[in-house]
Amino acid sequence: MWLNPRNPQLNKNGELHHLLSLEGLPVEILRQILDTANSFVGVTQRDVKKVPLLRGKAVFNIFFEASTRTRTTFEIAAKRLSADVINLAINVSSTSKGESVLDTVANLSAMQADMFIVRHAASGAPHLIAKHVGPDIHVINAGDGRHSHPTQGLLDVFAIRHYKKDFTNLRVAIVGDILHSRVARSQIHALTTLGCPEIRVIGPRTLIPAEIRGLGVHVYHDMREGLKDVDVVSMLRLQNERMKGALLASGQEFYKYYGLNDEKLALAKPDAIVLHPGPMNRGVEIDSSVADGKQSVILPQVSFGIAIRMAVMSIVAGN
């Protein structure tokens, strides 16, 4: 067995083999990813944006759930590492012929793939796939159900470190639909590992699961109270389907209580930064004056996301 039995994303030397979740990832590996990404920020701003680290490798974007944005960032990252990229939108193909996910993956493995970037609506799908691929294939979770979206969590903490330098005296508020958010979970795990002493989650009772307190976070239902003196405001995207569902009265109602506007942001520290994973619902979870304002680091997050994905891919390929 080539993987570490206690953590299926590490090899037996304790190095990153798959990236499935930020939960349980050792702090040294988190820092290795952030430091490596930092070295790639420069590459993506050069005139020739390519490095040959993955030349001749085949990276398969296997998206069982559509996500142009995430797929594109992985595709760009892989091409900047000189890999060959194969895009597969599996919902419209083999599985519609009745083939199981594992048969699909076994077939793609037999094509001598080097890396699978996997997005799936079912929580745990990337773990299942990682368990069944051969020792030469690396699996990177690009979002699975409500569970995890580790590269998003990594780019978020990269952005926080970039602007705040140190995690050990930060107060971070995560605001919105915690219940359905894989982004929130990934942020909480990464921030905790990196030593952030105070994480607050803010949202309506219907959108904050009870078990979240088990992760050591503080729960607020009053956004004004929760934002007081925080260094970082991490806004979550409100899925459209929630606005129509039983969990919320309406988008306008949500905006009134949990939308970030200038007035509420003024309660945070004056130099607080605002994060959002995108795409934004302007006027629902965030006001345009905040989204486009000087405390917003939403677009730099996107740039950092390329560097983070380059870092993860080059690290697993090198181990």
Task: Find, among 124, 142, 143, 122, the residue nearest to 132 by Cα.
Answer: 124
Choose the binding region for a copy of itself from 22-30, 45-53, 148-156, 188-196 (rule: CB under 8 A). 45-53
By the rule CB under 8 A, 154 interacts with a copy of itself = no
Strand order in the sheet with 218-220: 218-220, 198-202, 171-175, 232-235, 273-275
Per-position DSSP letters for 155-213, written without gaps between them: HHHHHHHHHHS-STT-EEEEES--TT-HHHHHHHHHHHHTT-SEEEEE--GGGS-GGGG
Is residue 69 within the footprint of a copy of itself (CB under 8 A)?
yes
Q: Which is nearer to a copy of itself, 167 or 304 (CB)?
A: 304
Q: Per DSSP, which regions of the chain are E strands?
A: 3-4, 7-11, 58-63, 84-89, 115-120, 138-144, 171-175, 198-202, 218-220, 232-235, 273-275
Give the C-alpha distances (Å, rounded to integers) separating 241 from 8, 123, 137, 178, 247.
Answer: 34, 19, 36, 15, 10
Cβ atoms of 230 and 269 within 8 Å: the answer is yes
Q: Which of 5, 6, 47, 205 forms a contact with a copy of itself (CB under 8 A)?
A: 47
The answer to whether 195 and 161 have CB atoms below 8 angstroms apart is no
Q: Least CB distance from residue 97 to a copy of itself, whole Å? A: 5
Q: Name which position in 24, 26, 66, 245 contacts a copy of itself (CB under 8 A).
A: 66
* Binding to a copy of itself, residues 96-125 (CB under 8 A): 97-100, 103-104, 106-112
CB of 151 to a copy of itself, least distance (A): 14
Q: Which is nearer to a copy of itself, 218 or 282 (CB)?
A: 282
CA 274 – CA 191 distance, rounded (Å):
16
Cα dihedral 276, 280, 281, 282 sign: positive
Nearer to a copy of itself (CB atom), residue 108 or residue 191: 108
Q: How far apart are CA 200 and CA 166, in angstroms?
A: 18
Query: Helix or strand or coil: residue 118?
Result: strand
Using CB under 8 A as the binding rule, whether residue 162 contacts a copy of itself is answered as no
d(CA 231, CA 164): 8
Q: Note whether 50 binds a copy of itself by CB under 8 A.
A: yes
- The answer to the question of residue 248 lying near a copy of itself (CB under 8 A) is no
- Pairing mode, strands 7-11 and 3-4: antiparallel
Among 13-21, 94-102, 144-152, 201-209, the segment contacting a copy of itself (CB under 8 A):
94-102
Comparing CB distances to a copy of itself, the nearer of 205 and 294 is 294
Q: Is 86 in the site for a copy of itself (CB under 8 A)?
A: yes
Neighbours of 271 (CB within 10 A): 9
Nearer to a copy of itself, 29 or 316 (CB): 316
The 271-310 site mask, x for binding a copy of itself (CB under 8 A), equals -------xxxxx----------------xxxxx-xx----
Under the criterion CB under 8 A, does residue 58 sit at the interface with a copy of itself? yes
Could you tell me the smallest distance in angstroms from the CB atom of residue 313 to a copy of itself? 15
Give the residue with the Cβ less far from a copy of itself, 58 or 172: 58
Q: Which one among 48, 205, 246, 271 touches a copy of itself, defined by CB under 8 A?
A: 48
Q: What is the binding site for a copy of itself (CB under 8 A)?
A: 44-50, 55-58, 66-69, 72-73, 75-76, 79-80, 84, 86, 88-90, 92-94, 97-100, 103-104, 106-112, 240, 278-282, 299-303, 305-306
